[in-house]
């Protein structure tokens, strides 16, 4: 069992930067990916970014590529999502997810989920 807790959301202005954190506890796996997903108002949940804890590989959604950066701190069992040049379209609940396997963009393949943290970007 893995527990995930997101933090760092809030209200910001367009163009601002913010960093989300996801702290993991409980069972650890030899090879598991950590992903960020989001669900905006009136939208379906969508992939944002993913990182492999052991391999360091990353992938991003086209909508955030060049603006967002996913990273990890294994000593703290924490993954981050650095968000720059934020847009109102980024407004959503952001979820952290873990998968005992390689990286993937498909949310249904993730095993554990956090409770989410709200990001609101005003124009």
- What are 10-34's pLDDT values in tens digits? 999 999 999 999 998 876 655 689 9
Q: Identify the band that residue 2 occupies on the pLDDT scale cut at 50, 70 and 90.
A: confident
pLDDT digits (tens, 9 = 90+) for 57-109: 999 999 999 999 999 887 888 899 999 999 999 999 999 999 988 899 999 99
40, burial (CB in 10 Å: exposed 0-12, middle 13-18, buried 19+): middle
* Mean pLDDT, range 39-58, rounded to an integer: 90
CA distance 99 to 102: 7
Q: In the chain, which residue ranges form alpha helices assigned H by DSSP?
A: none
Q: Quick one: pLDDT at residue 100?
A: 87
CA distance 123 to 113: 30
């Amino acid at each position: 069992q893995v527990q995930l807790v997101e933090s760092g959301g809030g209200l910001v202005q367009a163009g601002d930067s913010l960093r989300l954190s996801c702290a993991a506890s409980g069972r650890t796996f030899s090879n598991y990916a950590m992903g960020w997903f989001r669900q905006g108002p009136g939208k379906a949940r969508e992939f944002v970014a993913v990182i492999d804890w052991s391999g360091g590989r990353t992938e991003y959604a086209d909508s955030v590529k060049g603006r967002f950066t996913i990273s990890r701190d294994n000593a703290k069992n924490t993954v981050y999502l650095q968000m720059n040049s934020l847009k109102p379209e980024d407004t959503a609940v952001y979820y952290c997810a873990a998968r005992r396997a390689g990286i993937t963009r498909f949310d249904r393949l993730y095993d554990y989920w956090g409770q989410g943290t709200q990001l609101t970007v005003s124009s």
